[in-house]
Every structure is written in C-alpha cells, then in structure tokens.
Chains A and B, each alone.
Chain A
Amino acid sequence: EPEVTQTPSHQVTQMGQEVILRCVPISNHLYFYWYRQILGQKVEFLVSFYNNEISEKSEIFDDQFSVERPDGSNFTLKIRSTKLEDSAMYFCASSGQRSSGNTIYFGEGSWLTVV
C-alpha cells in the first residue's frame, strides 16, 4: 500500500539552528500538508500546499517556517532559528484529487527535539 515517508525519524538540534524535515508524499497525490503534535497535546494543522503554492496556513506557521517542493517527489518543511517550543512531532500528510474524497494519509512523523 502506498505510504507517506518522512526523514529523519528523530532529530536533535541546538536552539537557533535551522532544521529541514523531509517528506515523500504518495506519488499520485496533489495536496500536501504539515501538522505538528507537541507531546501530550492535540495534532495541529500548520500548512497545506497545492500546485506549488501554500493554499492555507495556520497562525502557528509564521515567518520562521517555510515549505518547498524542490522536485517532483519531495516536500520539505524548514524551520529557521529553532526555539525550545518547536520541539514536537511533525507529521507530513498528503491527499489526492478532491473528487476522490479527502482522505489524508499521514507519515510516521519526525520527532524534533530542540535543546
């Protein structure tokens, strides 16, 4: 079964450093997402991406964050100058055509620890 893959599974970084989280969405999907889950809290929407541009973003997704689809397969989340409160599990997700319904498939997550 097709799946969303994410790398790295776990990353530890120093506060103030830049981090890039990588994702390979399901190959025929067109909509891509990043969500995050701070330990013990609910999953929160960060951003959605379609047709090479951001289609929706939350208030969490400020100038510190950026997303990119550098080629035909990868989808990345960059966090500039990480803060302690950025420590969380970051989930990449993807979904297909709207006509096929809105089933959003999640990757296994990238656990980011900022120290």
Chain B
Amino acid sequence: AQTVTQSQPEMSVQEAETVTLSCTYDTSESDYYLFWYKQPPSRQMILVIRQEAYKQQNATENRFSVNFQKAAKSFSLKISDSQLGDAAMYFCAWGPFYKLSFGAGTTVTVRA
C-alpha cells in the first residue's frame, strides 16, 4: 500500500524566517507526482507546489521550494521569508495520475 508520512504534527516559525516541512512516501512505482497543498482555516485545499518524479530539478514557486530525494522517497517543503498568511495546515500528497494519497498534515503557525 502506498503511504505518505508527515512526521511533524506542528511547526512554528518566526515571521520572515524559514521553515522546512518533511514528507516521506512509500511506493514501488516509478512514474508519479508529488504535491504540497495548503489548507487554511477555511478548509479550502490550495495547491502550493508540484513535482514530477521524473524531474531531478527541485520545483520552486516564489517563496516555496522542495527538496526531492527520489532514492530516499523524501519530499520536503521549505517556506522562506515566512508570512502571517502562511499559517495553515500543509498536506503532502503522492499519486499516480488518477488519484492522490495524503499525509496527515503539519500545522504551521507563524509568530509575529
């Protein structure tokens, strides 16, 4: 069974600082995708960043970047220059094309 593990239930970061969220997954497939979604209190699921497994280059989106280690099956998210609006639950997700498996989530709080 494919599993996604987020080992940090909660993370706290000072405004303007950097925080890294960890994610590991387990699969025997070679063609898949990885995502980080943000879920604010409104509970909407907002795509933060995506990574194709066949790409070695780590994805970046503005202040968000990933460290994708395929051999280690690791997919961490780095949030740089943290802002108050970054406070939310962050979910890591793994999937083939037709469905996603989610981790349990990491709650990020940003201290002013």
Contact = CB atoms under 8 A, between A and B. Distances in A.
B37 A42 contact: no
Interface residues of A, number: 27
B97 to A, nearest CB: 5
A106 interface: yes
Interface residues of B, number: 24
Contacts, number: 59
Nearest to B44: A108
Contact of B97 (A37, A45, A98, A106): A98
B36 interface: no
Interface in A13-49: 31, 33, 35, 37, 41-45, 48
A70 to B, nearest CB: 22
Interface string B5-40: 000000000000000000000000000010101000
A56 interface: yes
A42 B97 contact: no
Contacts of A91: 45
Interface of B: 33, 35, 37, 42-47, 50, 52, 91, 93, 95-105
13 contacts: A43-B100, A45-B101, A48-B98, A58-B99, A89-B43, A101-B33, A101-B52, A102-B96, A106-B37, A106-B46, A106-B47, A108-B42, A111-B43
Would you list the 10 A-B pairs with minimal beta carbon distance, nearest first? A106-B45, A43-B102, A102-B33, A45-B99, A108-B44, A48-B98, A42-B102, A102-B97, A42-B104, A56-B98
